[in-house]
Amino acid sequence: MEMLIKASEKDGNYGLRPHSALGGTTKITGIKVNNMISILQIAGYHKKLEIELDSNMTVFDVKNKILKDLFASADIKEVTAKTPKAPIHASKIIITKNQALKPIPDFDNGTTMDELKLKSGDIFNVQMRPDSVSSTVPLFNDEITDINDRTKFIFDQMFNTFAVAEADQMVIGRD
């Protein structure tokens, strides 16, 4: 049951507070954030930040705050095609506490800073999720009149992977 609840929070908790976050809070100051998102560094966003958190903030809340503060700290000299036009969604990043080798798992998005035993001077390293770096393919062409060629190719590949030819007719899947 606990894993089901944690899995349901991997994309955030949609404003619902975990029971442990409903009590009192204390300020945690001097939290250092290392921006390791290369696209943001190239565009002129700060590489390091120092933030203040509440002990009852969840991991997902902290991801949102870090991104908000990163975008607010921008010192962009020149807007280029690579400059992000909108803040990145919190589900697209991973954060690592201090020098841990593994990032905080998504199913811990409902965990509070108090439960993580976060203290002043701790460090968060922020990176893009490896699977979110890949590009997306738009479904339609620019005029929105037809499916674009890349999308047609992808659908053809999926169809050819799962379709099976039987006795001069095409049958989807097997029974």
Tokens 């705050």 -> residue: 65
State the pLDDT at residue 134. Answer: 47
What are the tokens at 73? 């700290």
Q: What is the pTM of this model?
A: 0.63
> Which domains can be identified in the chain, with CATH numbers?
2-132 (3.10.20.90), 135-175 (no CATH)
For the chain, where are the alpha helices, taking DSSP H only?
2-8, 38-43, 59-72, 149-162
pLDDT at 90 over 90: no
The set of residues, in sequence order, having a beta carbon less than 8 Å from that of 18 and lying 6+ positions away, is 58, 110, 111, 112
Q: Which stretch of 10-14, 92-96, 109-113 has the lowest confidence by average pLDDT? A: 10-14
Query: In what side-by-side order are the strands of the sheet with 27-35?
Result: 48-54, 27-35, 123-128, 93-97
pLDDT of residue 103: 92
Note the pLDDT tens digit of each residue in 18-29. Answer: 666 667 788 999
